[in-house]
Chain A
Amino acid sequence: MEALLSLLIGVITACGVYLMLRGRTFPVVLGLTLLSYAVNVFLFAMGRLTIGQPPVIDAATSQYADPLPQALVLTAIVISFGMTAFVIVLALKARAELGNDHVDGEGE
């Protein structure tokens, strides 16, 4: 499971980086979104992968899932969500003001 997950994070990150280097704003926004997905899964996996374990104290069990990464991921998701919304609005504003959707504001 670890190998599969790390492969997944790697592929998503690579796609994100590739898209972020494109010349138009829409792929760049998609790239940033993919990167934030990858980093969220990465953070989540840092608490080690466990299945079916409670994160809070339970008398019946001695195995726990680490609750901290879950809290961190929640924060990171909220922040990246807000940032994505902002960058989309900014991209639309730049499109309206500069007349094209190229990141430098200059069409080919």
Chain B
Amino acid sequence: MSHLVIAPILLPLLAGILLLLLRSLDIRWRRALGLAAMLAQVAVAITLLQTVLDGPLLVYALGNWQAPYGIVLVADPLAAWMVLITALLGLFALLYALRGADQAGRHFHVLFQLQLFGLQGAFLTGDLFNLFVFFEILLLASYGLLLHGSGPQRSRAGLHFVVINLAGSTLFLFAVGTLYGTFGTLNMADLAVHIGQASPQQLGLARLAGLLLFGVFALKAALVPLHLWLPAAYSAATAPVAALFVIMTKVGAYGILRLDVLLFGAGEASDLLDAWLLPLALLTLALGTLGVMASTGLRRQVAWLVVISVGTLLTAFALGGVNGIAAGLYYLPHTTFAGAAFFLLADSLSVRRGEHDDHFVPHAALADRRLLGGLFFLVAILVAGLPPLSGFIGKFLILRAALGSGAIAWVLAVVLAGGLLTIIALARSGSVIFYRSHPAEHATPTLQLWPELVPASGLLLLCLGLMIAAGPVDAVTRFIAGQLMQPEIYIQAVLGGAGS
């Protein structure tokens, strides 16, 4: 049994515990430790992805209790892909935090590692109750991170965020209980088999539990109408935390994908989400665009862009098939990195604008306006999906996947109109911030600009990599999607000859 599967979970857990024990150590050592743990996680994630792309998917039976009786961790290509994206995002968010944001409150590094622990666990687990537990871990860490830095704004946003997520956890437990009561198992592969062969009496309960689960994942993903918590929470968080939170909505999208193609992948209930997912995803996209247009501050605008990205991503997943899912999996890292880079950039801008913060009001010309403006321009193009950057390729793949579908007109209209309105909104914010400025009376001192821009530039370089290597990356996402469309591979690996 290869221990590689559990390494992405154990590394942040051990690093988090170690950081907690060493909390009285000088901040430089704690930063070094956090950074080392993060680099190790990236290395492990790359190894894991390579292993599962080259060979069969890996199953790790905890305590060597075989599925379906024990809890298993499953590293299939999708899980490994998500683990790698999370690790890379975590690395750059941490790099930004090292510049001082980690000092704004206590235990930043501990919470950061535990948040990664919860995220990686949620991607790798093959057991539904275990997924609930990892969700709670990542949420509890995220509550602490959201409140990092304190202030009334954060307390208010934090209270809403915590209460709505606690309600979501309760729904999750109801769904888990219903599934266990109906089928007597919580192993995801075993559940998929049982749901596929459900008797007519069981079918109703299975659908009920499935839709409850969909509601929970939709809440995490901020799908309309459960999206209202997101802009307030994300715009109130400290920049590196907001950047890391971009992946949290993707955990919800990941859950929906697993629910759709694995748990309800076959049998009579396989049409569970067909009627819901595409309309809701398009509605999310449309409302997100309105939010972007209506925002009066940059951070809130970026938070609404995260809602748009969820809508686009779930549109791709809803289109389904190898094409749709592969397009979504290409779009996912792009939108995660670009959104995170935007949050970091928005922070760099707002600290330079003094009392005007990130509000769209004219301010004295910034000393570093050329460099910051250039980066803003790049990120805006990336997010809006203009050629030639990776956002364009992602949207192109999604639209191509929509070609065969019956809803092509709706998808085309909403995605393209949304893209256009996003460009207009971002052009307006950019021109207010950079052009409509009155000349500076005294040159603003440059706060060591370059080290500050390294994390955002790194994320942009990753997007550039996605653009240049679009062919190979597309091949990888197609392979992942191809495996997802054959759930029997997953089920066979978990239930037959597990732990080998």
Contacts and interface: CB of A to CB of B under 8 A. Distances in A.
Q: Do A and B come from one complex?
A: yes
A39 B170 contact: yes
Nearest to B69: A68
B174 interface: yes
A97 B147 CA distance: 13
Interface string B168-186: 0110011011101100001
Contact of B155 (A39, A48, A72, A90): A90
B157 to A, nearest CB: 10
A46 B143 contact: no
Given A68-B180, A94-B159, A83 B152 contact: no
Interface residues of chain B: helix, strand, loop or mixed (majority): helix
B167 A20 contact: yes
B156 interface: yes
Interface string A59-72: 00000000011001
B166 A83 contact: yes
Interface residues on B, range: 20 to 34
A39 to B, nearest CB: 4
Interface in A1-55: 20, 25, 28, 32, 35-36, 38-39, 42-43, 45-48
Most buried by A among B151, B160, B174, B177: B177
A64 B46 CA distance: 46
Interface residues on A, range: 20 to 34
Contact of B158 (A20, A80, A82, A90): A90
B25 interface: no
A80 B169 CA distance: 9
B140 interface: yes
Contacts of A97: 150-152, 155
Contacts of B167: 20, 32, 35
Given A39-B170, A83-B169, A91 B176 contact: no
A32 B168 CA distance: 11
B163 interface: yes
A20 B156 CA distance: 16
A25 B166 CA distance: 14
A86 B174 contact: no
Interface string A87-108: 1001101100110000111000
B158 A105 contact: no
A75 B133 contact: yes
B191 to A, nearest CB: 14
Contacts of A80: 169
A103 B159 contact: yes
A91 B156 CA distance: 9
A86 B152 CA distance: 17
A94 B163 contact: no
A68 B129 CA distance: 11
A102 B78 CA distance: 43
B427 interface: no
B162 interface: yes
A22 to B, nearest CB: 11
Contacts of A98: 152, 155-156
14 contacts: A36-B166, A43-B173, A43-B176, A72-B176, A72-B177, A75-B133, A79-B133, A86-B162, A90-B159, A97-B155, A98-B156, A103-B159, A103-B160, A104-B156
Given A43-B173, A86-B140, A90-B155, 5 more contacts: A68-B180, A76-B173, A83-B166, A90-B159, A94-B152
Interface of B: 129, 133, 136, 140, 143, 147, 150-152, 155-156, 158-160, 162-163, 166-167, 169-170, 173-174, 176-178, 180-181, 186
Shortest beta-carbon contacts, A-B, top 4: A46-B181, A97-B152, A94-B155, A39-B173
